Amino acid sequence: MKPIFTNDWAGILHPEMEKPYYAELRRKLADEYRSGTVYPDMYRIFSAFHLTALADTRVVILGQDPYHGPNQAHGLSFSVQPGRSVPPSLDNIYRELRDDLGCEPVRHGFLESWAKQGVLLLNNVLTVRRGQAASHQGMGWETFTDAAIAAINERKQPALFILWGRSAQEKGSFIDAGRHLVLKAAHPSPRSADRGFFGSRPFSQANDFLREHGLPEIQWCLPAEPEPLREEGTTVI
């Protein structure tokens, strides 16, 4: 298989791609992309890892699976492509960001600037069928992303894990909370945000943690205009 990763994720994730479960996952994905519409575009499946190297990862925001509408998902959890409307969950994230740090909400949902600063925007499952949320659960992605989280957990350098909702919290059950900071709150979905997401102040807590450990803070306030969607050239299929 052609190498997918060119940064330090290669040493962690390329061995995963040699395992039998991943060979089966790859076969299923090839069938899915050939026979229907799957998001994100196959060239953007691993954008989170391309944009945020393992050594640079200071914060992890864990999502469930990609958005399943046209031209939304591009490989970063909670983020949508430039030019798309802001989804309800992300709108609630912006509301909390404003209340926490005073960042005025922007009119786009493109979070690449966070990824470039060391925020790994990782979904538990990296692909989805059009219009069918959670349709690729149980195919093998969970094992693959567990390996990524385990690699961050095992580093000496501490990281902050932001786990919104039960699914993310179950995914992060093996994180060493004695070495890393784990922030848990309700999911930002309109169905649950009022049950503990609003008022959780994750962004200021993240910067407090980073500052305490001598690490650069994240500039959470987003640019008013998004950068163009960058080209990706490596596919898993």
b/e per residue 159-194 (b: at least 16 CB within 10 A):
bbbbbbbebbbebbeebeeeebbbbbbbbbeeebbe
Enter the tokens of residue 128. Answer: 């989805």
Asked if 100 is an active-site residue, the reply is no
First to last CA, the chain: 10
CB atoms within 10 A of CB 58: 23
> Hey, is 24 helix, strand or coil?
helix
Residue of 31, 65, 100, 146 marked active site? 65
Peptide bond into 226 cis (omega under 30): no
Give Rg (Cα) of the chain: 17
Token digits for 20? 């039998």
Dist CA 157 CA 8 (whole Å) = 15
Q: CA–CA separation, 162 vs 131, rounded Å?
A: 27
Sequence-ordered list of residues with C-beta below 8 angstroms from that of 156, at least 6 positions apart, any chain: none
Q: Rounded distance, CA 44 to CA 57, Å?
A: 19
Distance in angstroms (rounded) separating the CA atoms of residues 227 and 7? 22
CA distance 21 to 71: 29
User: Which residues are part of the catalytic machinery?
Assistant: 65
